[in-house]
Amino acid sequence: MTRILITGTAGFIGYHLAKRLLAEGHDILGFDGMTPYYDVRLKQRRHADLLQRAGFRAVEGMLEDTAPFDAAADAFVPQVIVHLAAQAGVRYSLEAPRSYLDSNIIGTFTVMEAARRHQVAHLMMASTSSVYGANEKMPFAETDQADHPLTIYAATKKATESMGHAYAHLWKIPTTMFRFFTVYGPWGRPDLALFKFVEAILEGRAIDIYNHGEMFRDFTYIDDLVRAISLLIPAAPALVEGRGEAIAGDSLSPSAPWRVVNIGNSQKVRLLDFVEAIEEALGQKAIRNMMPMQRGDVPATWADAGLLEALTGYRPQTDIREGVGRFVAWYRDYYGR
């Protein structure tokens, strides 16, 4: 049993990760700010479910306030920290950029300080595929240049990667940064396309399809994602001189126990094919409102998951139609539709 502190446990990914790690027998402390970015009742339901499970306790507070988190972390004395809490959303970062600085930069600094104080065995922090920006070389590999973010959201996530590297170097904290690729599934966020599309189609409203549907995403099913994170917990990076034979394509830093790992399905799915999968699962056609590309969007994402497989022996593989079908089943049950 490992003492694992997870930030963002009332969020979509944090909830699923905590549920998996609890089932594996770990002791989990969850921390979440319950911000009103989307329906707080959904966050409360996630936490309520976790609180019914042995080995889970939760503290509410904002990371940028520092004191509640510091007190909780110091009492718990974590061996591993998984930092998922963040202000998410590419499009919302155009409307409220300051919230990304407060949550993603200051909040991450608070977490890194706790990792330093407790000299955790592994600090694991969420980044995003958005850091690849306008890169045209695909699939995206961890060793590709990622210095041209297109949104404040992506810029703050890239900044946390750099902050994590500095702390890994200075304090010898084994650190893994995850770059997530379009995560979806049951209990998902209402601001994401799948949730909004299902809701609109069932209500007979049109859905906005950007770039006239000529967009591609590497959709990653939530169960695959949290399984990958769980398998990476014991795969903490070590300094170069202690790592043995190098892994091909490894992003391990030459000056710190730090690496970045893509977690994606390694498949490009066309947006219109995604819409058709939703229509098939619902048994209902969408009213399509074709739109131009939005500011900050990229035409495609596609993960090279070779490093993840080399480190864990695992590669996400859930088919988009299977995953969408599971989400639709959850949505109908949760909302009585």
Q: Are 9 and 33 in contact (CB under 8 A)?
A: no
CATH superfamily of 3-181+220-264+303-317: NAD(P)-binding Rossmann-like Domain (3.40.50.720)
124 contacts: CB under 8 Å, gap ≥ 6: 80, 81, 82, 83, 175, 176, 178, 229, 232, 233
Q: In whole angstroms, give the CA distance from residue 154 to residue 328.
A: 29
Across the chain, what does the average pLDDT equal? 93
Q: In whole angstroms, give the CA distance from residue 60 to residue 31.
A: 6
Q: What is the pLDDT of residues 20-60, one digit of tens each?
A: 999 999 999 999 999 888 899 999 999 999 999 999 999 99
The percent of the chain in helix, strand and coil, each rounded to the nearest 5, is: 45, 15, 40
Residues marked as catalytic = 153
Confidence tier at 240 by pLDDT (50, 70, 90): low
**Percentage of the chain lying above the pLDDT 70 cut:** 97
Nearest to 266 by CA among 216, 312, 311: 216
Please tell me the predicted confidence (pLDDT) of residue 241: 55
pTM above 0.75, yes or no: yes
Q: In the numeric block, which tokens belong to residue 141?
A: 């590999």
For 49-58, 146-155, 164-173, which range has the lowest pLDDT when averaged over its residues? 146-155
Q: Are 221 and 316 in contact (CB under 8 A)?
A: yes
Please tell me the predicted confidence (pLDDT) of residue 91: 72
Confidence tier at 305 by pLDDT (50, 70, 90): very high
For residue 151, give the 3-state DSSP assignment.
coil
User: Average pLDDT in the 200-215 region?
Assistant: 93
User: Average pLDDT in the 253-281 region?
Assistant: 95
* Ranges of each domain in the chain: 3-181+220-264+303-317
DSSP label at residue 300? B
Please tell me the predicted confidence (pLDDT) of residue 74: 98
Please give the backbone phi and psi of residue 289, each rounded to the nearest 5 degrees, phi first: -110, 100
pLDDT above 80 (res 90): no
Count CA atoms closer than 13 A to 244's CA, side-chain side. Answer: 2
User: Average pLDDT in the 239-246 region?
Assistant: 54
CA-based radius of gyration for the chain: 19
With left for phi above 0 and alpha for psi between -120 and 50, is residue 172 left, alpha or beta? left
User: Average pLDDT in the 242-269 region?
Assistant: 84
Q: Are strands 269-270 and 216-217 parallel, antiparallel or unpaired?
A: antiparallel
User: Average pLDDT in the 85-92 region?
Assistant: 80
> Read out DSSP for 226-248?
HHHHHHHTT-----GGGS-SPPT
User: Average pLDDT in the 102-128 region?
Assistant: 97
Q: What is the pLDDT of residues 308-326, one digit of tens each?
A: 999 999 999 999 999 999 9
98 contacts: CB under 8 Å, gap ≥ 6: none
Please tell me the predicted confidence (pLDDT) of residue 244: 44
User: Average pLDDT in the 89-112 region?
Assistant: 87
Q: In whole angstroms, give the CA distance from residue 248 to residue 251.
A: 9
pLDDT above 80 (res 239): no
Q: What is the pLDDT of residues 175-189, one digit of tens each?
A: 999 999 999 999 999
